[in-house]
């Protein structure tokens, strides 16, 4: 079982999203770019600076801090990275830490579907004591229970997982097994297609946190050469965040 009451983490892409999450009492944000289009990529330094400034301003006003955890992922696609890509990620982790973030989110795998332990060790070292979350790359491995042992040995704080399903609510049995297996050595955070109505069942599985983007689509035309005429983008929906926070309180 979790050591304390499960908390809420919201995936955000901008300062407005961070404010929505913080106002709702979320414990953490996962900060990323291009979430809808790519599943999330490393955000820019300017956004991180703005978020850290917002967190500090809120702390000065006496508000409980909402953590800033940065996704470090250099490209879409597989989680198997070559030496150059790993070098970029290590630099990104160091840069994010220097800006004052609370943690980083990473997920290197080997070509045969295991945790890339040397790569993970380099990323954990670059985090310099900040919390490290291993993201949903874990859902691509054959034996997630064995992965938990490797993550614990590497000093990873938590793992974000859907329990191997497309949506977390369909992965509840595996989530419960992961919680039981790791016995608190690694926090288990449920994420992947989470809706507020799912929160109660996820909490009942024993997870330490629930993660969702709580987003809605905004139409937009990038025009020729402007990123796709039909793409639009997504923003954090305050109503969905509030519903998720309320569901977590009731669970």
210, 202 Cβ separation under 8 angstroms: yes
Q: Residue 163 belongs to what domain range?
A: 7-250
Cα separation, 17 vs 147, in Å, equals 32
Cα separation, 8 vs 190, in Å, equals 10
Confidence (pLDDT) at 110: 96
Predicted TM-score (pTM) of the model is: 0.94
Show Cβ contacts of residue 173 under 8 Å, excluding neighbours closer than 6 positions. 163
Based on the structure, what is the number of domains in the chain? Answer: 1
What is the C-alpha R_g of the chain? Answer: 17
Unique residue bearing structure tokens 């938990």: 148
Tell me, yes or no, whether 214 lies in a domain.
yes
Q: What is the mean pLDDT of the chain?
A: 94
Show Cβ contacts of residue 38 under 8 Å, excluding neighbours closer than 6 positions. 76
pLDDT in tens, 159-173: 999 999 999 999 999
pLDDT in tens, 96-115: 999 999 999 999 999 999 99
Average pLDDT of the segment spanning 134-148: 92
Q: 1 pLDDT band (50/70/90 cuts)?
A: very low
Tell me, yes or no, whether 210 lies in a domain.
yes
Confidence (pLDDT) at 36: 87
- Give which of 135, 125, 65, 134 is closest to 101, Cα–Cα: 65
Cα separation, 3 vs 194, in Å, equals 22
pLDDT in tens, 11-55: 999 999 999 999 999 999 999 999 988 899 999 999 999 999 999
Sign of the alpha-carbon dihedral angle for 122, 124, 130, 136: positive
Tell me, yes or no, whether 78 lies in a domain.
yes
Q: Domain of 195: which CATH number?
A: 3.20.20.380
Which stretches does DSSP call E strand in the chain? 7-12, 28-31, 67-71, 103-106, 131-134, 158-161, 187-191, 209-212, 215-218, 233-236
Crossing angle of the two packed helices 83-99 and 117-127, in degrees rounded to 10: 20
58, 65 Cβ separation under 8 angstroms: yes
Average pLDDT of the segment spanning 68-83: 97
Cα separation, 218 vs 89, in Å, equals 30
Tell me, yes or no, whether 2 lies in a domain.
no
Tell me, yes or no, whether 198 lies in a domain.
yes
Cα separation, 57 vs 62, in Å, equals 9
Residue 192, Ramachandran bin (φ over 0: left; ψ between -120 and 50: alpha; else beta): left
Tell me, yes or no, whether 125 lies in a domain.
yes
pLDDT in tens, 218-234: 887 666 665 554 567 89
Confidence (pLDDT) at 229: 44
Average pLDDT of the segment spanning 201-212: 98
% of the chain exceeding 70 in pLDDT? 94
Tell me, yes or no, whether 12 lies in a domain.
yes
Tell me, yes or no, whether 212 lies in a domain.
yes
54, 18 Cβ separation under 8 angstroms: yes
């Amino acid at each position: 079982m979790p050591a304390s009451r499960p908390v809420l983490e919201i995936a955000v892409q901008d300062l407005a999203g961070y404010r929505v999450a913080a106002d709702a009492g979320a414990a953490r944000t996962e900060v990323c770019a291009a979430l809808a289009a790519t599943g999330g990529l490393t955000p820019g330094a300017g956004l991180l600076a703005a978020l850290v400034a917002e967190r500090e301003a809120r702390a000065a006003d006496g508000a409980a801090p909402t953590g800033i955890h940065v996704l470090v992922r250099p490209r879409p696609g597989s989680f198997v990275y070559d030496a150059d890509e790993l070098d970029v990620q290590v630099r990104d982790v160091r840069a994010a830490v220097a800006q004052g973030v609370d943690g980083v989110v990473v997920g290197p795998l080997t070509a045969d579907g295991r945790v890339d332990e040397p790569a993970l060790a380099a990323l954990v070292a670059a985090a310099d004591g900040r919390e490290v979350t291993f993201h949903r790359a874990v859902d691509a491995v054959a034996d997630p229970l064995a992965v938990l042992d490797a993550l614990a040995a590497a000093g990873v704080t938590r793992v974000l997982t859907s329990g191997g399903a497309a949506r977390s609510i369909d992965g509840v049995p595996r989530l419960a097994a992961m919680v039981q297996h790791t016995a608190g050595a690694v926090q288990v955070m449920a994420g992947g297609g989470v809706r507020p109505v799912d929160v109660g069942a996820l909490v009942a599985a024993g997870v330490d946190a629930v993660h969702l983007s709580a987003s809605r689509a905004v139409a937009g035309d990038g025009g020729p050469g402007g990123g796709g005429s039909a793409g639009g983008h997504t923003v954090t929906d305050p109503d969905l965040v509030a519903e998720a926070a309320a569901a977590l309180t009731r669970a």
